[in-house]
Structures are given as C-alpha cells and as structure tokens.
Structure 1
Amino acid sequence: MTGATPSPAPPRRRPLTVLPLIALIFYDVSGGPFGIEDSVRAGGGALLPILGFLILPILWSLPEALVTAELASAFPTNAGYVAWVSAAFGPAAAFLVGFSKWASGTLDNALYPVLFLDYLYGGAAALSPAARSLAVVALTAALTYLNYRGLHLVGISALVLTAFSLSPFVALVVIAVPKIRPARWLAVDFAAVELRGYFNSMFWNLNYWDKASTLAGEVEDPKRTFPKAVFGAVGLVVGAYLIPLLAGTGALPAETAAEWKDGFFSEVGARIGGGWLRIWIQAAAAMSNMGLFEAEMSSDSFQLLGMAEMGMIPAIFAARSPHGTPTASILASATGVVILSFMSFQEIVEFLNFLYGIGMLAVFAAFVKLRIKDPDLPRPYRIPVGAAGAAAMCVPPVALIVTVMCLASARTIAVNAAVAVAGVALYYGVERMKVAGCVEFLAPVPNESLHGSSSSTAASDDDDDVEDVRAVLLAGAGEQHDAGEGVSVSKEN
C-alpha cells in the first residue's frame, strides 16, 4: 500500500473552545456591519434592508445554521460539508462541491486585503497600482503567517478583533438615540431599487454559516461545542447588522439613501458623533477585514486538509506544520487570494454568491437525503423535525439561492460555468493521478468517533444507499485508489 499514514498531531496543536469558535463563525459570516451599506442604496431606502435583516436570518441564516449544527455534530471532521455530500451522493459530487466552495471562499477572501487598504488609505485611488499590488501581497503574506502559526491563535485574535470591531457602534448607537426618527425606517423609493444589487448584498452578508464545519475536527468536544457556537453566532451576527443599521438610518435624513455605499458607516459616524467617531469606525473596519481574512483562510485551508484526509486530493494538503496547521493548504489559499485580488468588489460578490449558491443547493439536498435514507444516523444535535419538516425548512433558503442565481448577469453565469468545467476536469485529473501513482494520496482512516450509522449489516446492492456510502467514506473502503498499485477498492455487492 502506498497510502501514507497521517503524522501524529503535534504537541502545540490546541483545540478550539466555544468563545473562539463563536468569533470565527462571526467572521466567517459577518465581521460587523461593514459591507451592509450598499443594501440601503440598492434597496432605495431603509425599509427593505431593515426588513431583509429581520426576515432573511429566519428564512436563510437559521436553516443554514441548523443544518450546520446537526451535520457537523454527526460528522466531526475537517472535511465538513464535503463529508456530508459524500455520504449522501458519493465522492464525485463531494469533490465538485468542495472545489466550488473552496473557489467561492478564495474569491471572498480576495476582498479583504483590498478593503483593508481602502479603509486605511481612504480608497483605492489613494495608492498607485504598483503600490496597491505590493501592499496587497505584503498584507496577504502577514495574515497568512498568522494563520500558519496556529488555529487557536487565530481564534483568540478573532475574539479580540470582534470586541474592537463592534466597539465604535456601541458609541454610535448611544449618540444616535436622541436623533432617531422612526418614520425614516419606513422610507423606500421603489424607482431607485436595484434588485440584483440588493439581493446580492443581503445574500453575501448572511451566508457562509456552513464554512465553520471545516473546523469541526479542531474543536474541543465538537458534538456539544459546535451547536452552542453556531447559535451564539446567529444572535451576534443579527444584532451586529440590525442595531447599527437602525441607528444610522433613523438618525440621518431619508434623502441620504443614495449615499449609502461601501464604507459609508464612517461617514455616518462623522455626521452623528464627529471626526473622532469616523476615525474609530475606520480603524474598526480595517481590523474587521483582518478578522474576516483569518476566519475565511482557516475554513478554506482546513477544508483542503479534510479532503486530503479523505483521499480526494493529494496527501501534501494534509501535512501539518509544527503549529498543527495545514501548510500546503494555507499556501494554496493565499496564492488564490493574490491572483484574484485585482477584481472589483461588485464582480467578486456576484461571482462568489453564484458559486456559493451552487454548493449550498447540494448541501441542503444532502441534508434532506440523509434524513430520509438514514433517519437513525446518530446526530448528537438533531433539529426537532421529521424528514418532511427538514425538507420544508430548506424551501425558503433554496428559493433565495434560485432568486440570486436568476438575477445574475450573463458574465457571472459564464464564469461559473467555466469554474464548473474546471472542477470536473480537475476531478478526473486527480482520479488519473491516483491510478498512475505519480502523487501520494491518503486512504481514509477508520475513526469510530465518526461512525454514526446505526446499522451493522452489510451494505445493500443499492448504489444510492446512504449507509453504504457513509461506511465507505468513514471506513476508507470507498472509491479510493491505491496510488502505487493502481488498485481501485470498491464496495461489496
């Protein structure tokens, strides 16, 4: 056998606890109200974004968070949603979902070094193209090094950054209260509404709940810790969006709606509290982008590590540094960030939303299929609904995903079609490498803590049987190839 044995966990590796995990989920999804400003402009006033941040967390965020809590507790592995889709639909579908979500995450992460510089220097025009590129590379390298130094360090940093990023909005709300006119919250100019921009802004600011599932293998007692952290983060995210939005739109005249663009909260601070509050908000926004980068890179790199441990991609992506972090996976994600950072904010948001939506459709489908095909799968946290209720719960978020996709531009559809083709080509290329034995792959290692199936009988002849797929996935007897001998191990009939 040429499948390598994973090296023992280094002694400096420290598991995540509840509070650092809440902070990382917060930054996976939000990072504060920075970035929601465009929803006011695209929504033609305060009413639509306020309604959006009241309703969409129930219809979109909560179902995604619930699915993440249930399946992450059932599959406490760094592969996260890749493992869920593999258990439901097999390794090919799981690989494509993993590739699309990694690409979406890398696109998302390309935003943050640029936004950091924009807040710090007052806009992209303040730097020459050469200086901007050099600054993006330098900042990406510095943040990547912090990620390399350990996930526990990243989690503690996220806690500190969360407190600092939200601190100026406490002051903003206190100062704004006497100036608030509730009637301004009802303002909407339907002629100024841009549906594509509005839905893309809302969707981007409320997605990525499932990203944290790729850290489940690094969490202390994930079966209990993960649900607590997910639900704690839901409340934190919704409050961090809605409260500053109510304060800002209620204290400023409705006629300012057209001015609400990315970065406008610093201007809101200046108009409500003065120049000192503007500077505080700008500093908080810059630091928030650092937290967003760190959380996204952690999720993306540990996802690649999980896929490597499942034998889906080369073993080098599972290699850990002395700090317990996946070195090659971190470098791959950082390279993608630098390459994609030349794109505009609007382009990146629309591209990644479409790409992310495709992956989430597969995740929701996997959740429903696992409920139907394997109802007795041990789930330490289980959403208190049956299979029909689970399917009904997924209808609103699926409808939102389809809406965002239908509003996409032709260019976005073309780019995502190209990514899909690249994913299929990459999958078959990886499979050929397994057969050729030119690259080392890990065989999935049996782990009794991951076995959730209540059935101990042999797998059925049904190729779609979830018990069989799960056993194949977790016991290492699936459609993995012995890299050196070119031997394919298939399930028994």
Structure 2
Amino acid sequence: MTGSPPAPAPARPRLTVLPLIALIFYDVSGGPFGIEDSVRAGGGALLPILGFLLLPILWSLPEALVTAELASAFPTNAGYVAWVSAAFGPAAAFLVGFTKWISGSLDNALYPVLFLDYLHLSLPPPSRSLAVVALTAGLSYLNYRGLHLVGLSALVLTAFSLSPFVALTVLAAPQIRPSRWFAMDAAAIDLRGYFNSMFWNLNYWDKASTLAGEVDEPRKTFPKAVFGAVGLVVGAYLVPLLAGTGALPSETAAEWTDGFFSEVGLRIGGPWLRVWIQAAAAMSNMGLFEAEMSSDSFQLLGMAEMGMIPAIFARRSNHGTPTFGILCSAAGVVVLSFMSFQEILEFLNFLYGLGMLVVFAAFVKLRVKNPDLTRPYRIPVGTLGAAVMCVPPVVLITTVMCLASARTIVVNAAVVVAGVVLYYGVEHAKRHAWVEFMAPVPPPSDSSDGPAMSSDADDVEDVRAGLLADEPSDEEASAMSHSA
C-alpha cells in the first residue's frame, strides 16, 4: 500500500449549475418515459397522480435534502460512500458502495434495451445482442471523452426529451375531462408493480453526489442544482400524466404499459407527434445511460481514492475521466442487459433500498456524532427533525422491500454476501500488497490550537481530510477557472 497519490490529472472543465441539474434530472428521471406502467398497476389515473404529488414530498425531497447537505460537507467523488464511512466505518461503506454500484449497473442495463424498444426495432436475438453491445460501447466512449461533454449533452437531451410533451399538453388541453383523473379500478391494482414503478421513477437522488468532486464550487453549486432538479423532475412527470390520462377515456388504463406515451401522442396529435415522442424517448435513454455511467464510474474512482479498492480505479484519462471505472461499468451493463425489464426493476429497487437505509442512518448519526461538521448547506432542522424527516422514505423503502418476491430476496441476499466476501478479499490483498492501493492522507495531529476532538469527530475528520487533501477550496478553484 502506498500513501502517494497518482500524478495530478490535467486541468479539466468543471460542472456548473445547469449541466449538473441536467445530470441529476437524468440520474433520477429523464422525462415521463417509464411512468406509464404506474397507471396500469394503479388501476387508473388516481393512484399515480396522488403518487407523483405526495411521494416527491415524502421520498424525493428528504433524499434530495440529505444529498445537498452531505455533498456540500463531503464535496468529493466518494459521495455517499464517504458519508457512510464517516458514520459507520469502511466495512459498511464498502458494502454500500458495492450494492449501490450493482444497483446502478442494473439500472443502466435497462437503457440500451429501452432505446431499441422505443424505436420499435424488431431484431433477432443475435442482432439485438450486438446492437446492445454497440450502443453500450458508443455511449461509454462519450463518457470517456469528458464529464463536461456529458453535462452539455444532457442539457440538450433534456430540452429535446421534454419538447414533445409541451406540444402534447397544448393539444390535449381541449380534450381533458378532470373526472378521468379520479378513476380507479380496485380489482386491477397491482401493488407490487405500482410501488416498484413509483420508487424507480423517483429514486437515485444521491447518485449525483459521486460527481461532487467534478463540480465548480460544489458547496454552493450542489444545493442549487439539487433543488432545481426536484422541480424539473416533478413537472416532467405530472404535466404529461395529467394531460394523457385526462384526454383519454378511463377504460384505456390497462393499455398504459412502457412506451404507451407514443400511442397517446398518436391519438391526440397524430403520427407526427407519435414519431416525435418515440425519438425523444430514445434520446432520453441515451441521457439516462450517460448520467448513470458517470455516477457509477466516478463512484469507483472515489472509492479508490479512499483506499477501498485498487488504485487503478483512480487513474484518469487525458479527458479527466475514470478509464477503468467506465470499462468496469460498461462490462456490468452488457452482462446484466439480458435480464427482463421487470426482473431488473425489482432487483435494483431492493438493492438500492438497502443502501439508502444505511445512507439515511449515516445522515442522522453524523448529526449526532459530529454536529459541528462543516456543512455549507444545512437542512434547517435539528437532530430530532432530521430523524423525523427520514421516517417517510424509510417506510416507503420497507414497503417496497416487503412486496418483493422470494426470488428477489434470495438474489439480493447473494449480492450482499458477495459484497462481504469481496470486502475481506480486498482487505487481504491490501495487507499482502498484491496490488497497489491509495492511502488517504490523515489530518494533522497537532491539537495545540484547541481542545482535542472526540474519537467520533476524529473519524469524520479523518475521512474528510483524506478525501479533501488535494482538493482546492471553492475560492481557489474559482480563481483558477478565471485565470485559465
């Protein structure tokens, strides 16, 4: 093991507010594509409309607030791994990082397949597999070329992906009957499908925290971007949902499955709107893939900088991107892309839920064990308020997990066991110096300027000092960008 970090990466453009909003939007949503199944599973329009009104408050907002506070306190690519490490130690952090990376790879495996589905390309299995591999390779290469390019492309894709729904809403307005929004067939409700659809469409707010080390003035930029993305995501879901369900007869609820918005466009606007929505959906899946891969690959880079995984994952290309993290994430996508949509959805929701339970616990524990931790953005509630705020999302996660099938529970238990085995395997390799690991630089031990901190506070500062040792301050970074 070595304490010497790799050579400094070349100067690279950093993310600003608007590109970061677009990346968070694609980490979480990407537009209304994929919410159609919530209408079918909800037995009509009422439950999904209520879900997209209430769950952003009960689930998305608490997760976004936690992300804004802790990403500003730990503005590094380790993201939530650093938060859990500071609260519970490296073993728990490694396991959360592993399960969330697997969940992210499962999530990303959906998008090349959905891209082909939205274009209605009927390919035989061998050709379809080749197309998935080719799409994964091409999108991974764009990721390799630089995060600033991914951020700018996400901005363009956001505008294009949402544009047909502006037209859809305008055309649907004269046909809307508000009574259709209250339709619900109790016999047709599929609670497992409904909660999995809602949960998948409103989660992953914390994924963007693994990009915090690539953000310009992260302590100021990150909270603004998170809250901007919350409004964009909720609007992108509710407006098309209200337009589509209000304009079509309630009897069509059973037809609302993945991809049905293109049919809504056909019935409301004609073939031209259908083609526009299909093209927007296909491009949205490209944006979703890019954002997810960025988060997953930079998470591996952050874990390598913490000494949790081999130092090779901390190596950057000439474009400032984590080469080996991208290759590893792309391989995971290809391997997992041959599972069915519903299998992937339920597996990744369960895994993601496990990780988020630990993240919420870490948030509360850091409020208790180190209340004086520098938090440039702090949620304006005390420790008790922070704990109460986490109750609704924890209840939702528990509900989703309780509705999971036995197969999902077995598969996720196997993933957790594999993570534990991998952790001890990596630690064994580290002790025997089989491969090179980075060692975060500890903070100065001189306490002459004040009283010694408690051991709990030391744990938190050890993590922050090691991660932030080579990071310029916001002011320094800003000066560097103005002088460049």
Aligned to 1:132: 128
Aligned to 1:288: 284
Matched, 1:142 2:132: no
CA contact (8 A) 2:443 2:461 kept: no
Q: Within 5 A, what are the aligned runs for 1:477-492?
A: none
AA of the residue aligned to 1:81: Y
Cα drift, residue 459 of structure 1: 5.2
Q: Secondary structure at the match of 2:390?
A: helix
Q: Secondary structure at the match of 1:10?
A: coil
Distance change >3 Å, CA 157–CA 445, structure 1 → 2: farther
Cα drift, residue 2 of structure 1: 3.0
**Separation in 2, partners of 1:456, 1:85:** 27
Matched, 1:6 2:6: yes
Cα drift, residue 101 of structure 1: 0.4
Q: Within 5 A, what are the aligned runs for 1:75-154?
A: 75-122=74-121, 126-154=122-150
Matched, 1:253 2:249: yes
Matched, 1:374 2:370: yes
CA contact (8 A) 1:370 1:466 kept: no
Q: Secondary structure at the match of 1:110?
A: helix
AA of the residue aligned to 1:473: V
CA contact (8 A) 1:3 1:440 kept: no
Matched, 1:165 2:166: no
**Separation in 2, partners of 1:334, 1:469:** 34
CA contact (8 A) 2:443 2:466 kept: no
Cα drift, residue 3 of structure 1: 3.6
C-alpha RMSD of the superposition: 1.6
When the two structures are superposed, what TM-score results if normalisation uses the length of structure 1? Answer: 0.92
**Separation in 1, partners of 2:201, 2:232:** 13
Matched, 1:183 2:182: no
Residues 235-263 of structure 1: CA distance to partner in whole angstroms, max 9, x if unpaired?
Answer: 00000000000000000000000000000
**Separation in 2, partners of 1:175, 1:146:** 36
Aligned to 1:482: none
CA contact (8 A) 2:442 2:462 kept: no
AA of the residue aligned to 1:445: V
**Separation in 2, partners of 1:5, 1:56:** 43
Cα drift, residue 216 of structure 1: 0.3
AA of the residue aligned to 1:468: D
**Separation in 1, partners of 2:192, 2:426:** 37
Cα drift, residue 6 of structure 1: 2.3
Cα drift, residue 373 of structure 1: 1.3
AA of the residue aligned to 1:467: A
Q: Within 5 A, what are the aligned runs for 1:4-403?
A: 4-11=4-11, 13-122=12-121, 126-403=122-399
Cα drift, residue 469 of structure 1: 1.3
Q: Which runs of 5+ in 2 are unaligned?
A: 468-484
**Separation in 1, partners of 2:406, 2:434:** 39
Q: Secondary structure at the match of 1:313?
A: coil
Q: Secondary structure at the match of 1:121?
A: coil
AA of the residue aligned to 1:115: L
**Separation in 2, partners of 1:34, 1:326:** 29
**Separation in 1, partners of 2:434, 2:451:** 36
**Separation in 1, partners of 2:119, 2:99:** 31
Cα drift, residue 340 of structure 1: 0.2
AA of the residue aligned to 2:173: V
CA contact (8 A) 1:4 1:440 kept: no
How many residue pairs were aligned? 465
**Separation in 2, partners of 1:411, 1:287:** 33
When the two structures are superposed, what TM-score results if normalisation uses the length of structure 2? Answer: 0.94
**Separation in 2, partners of 1:66, 1:469:** 23
Residues 182-214 of structure 1: CA distance to partner in whole angstroms, max 9, x if unpaired?
Answer: 000000000000000000000000000000000
Q: Secondary structure at the match of 1:127?
A: coil
CA contact (8 A) 2:60 2:203 kept: yes
Aligned to 1:486: none
Q: 1:472 aligns with which of 462, 473, 481?
A: 462
Aligned to 2:475: none
Residues 311-347 of structure 1: CA distance to partner in whole angstroms, max 9, x if unpaired?
Answer: 0000000000000000000000000000000001000
CA contact (8 A) 2:22 2:229 kept: yes
Cα drift, residue 446 of structure 1: 5.3
Residues 391-427 of structure 1: CA distance to partner in whole angstroms, max 9, x if unpaired?
Answer: 0000000000000000000000000000000000000
**Separation in 2, partners of 1:162, 1:431:** 42
Percent of aligned pairs with the same residue?
82
AA of the residue aligned to 1:6: P
**Separation in 2, partners of 1:393, 1:339:** 38
Aligned to 1:425: 421
**Separation in 1, partners of 2:214, 2:56:** 27
AA of the residue aligned to 1:408: A
Aligned to 2:476: none
Q: Secondary structure at the match of 1:231?
A: helix
CA contact (8 A) 1:46 1:185 kept: yes
Cα drift, residue 372 of structure 1: 1.1
CA contact (8 A) 2:28 2:202 kept: yes
Cα drift, residue 120 of structure 1: 1.4
Cα drift, residue 4 of structure 1: 3.7
AA of the residue aligned to 2:5: T
Distance change >3 Å, CA 349–CA 447, structure 1 → 2: farther
Cα drift, residue 476 of structure 1: 4.4
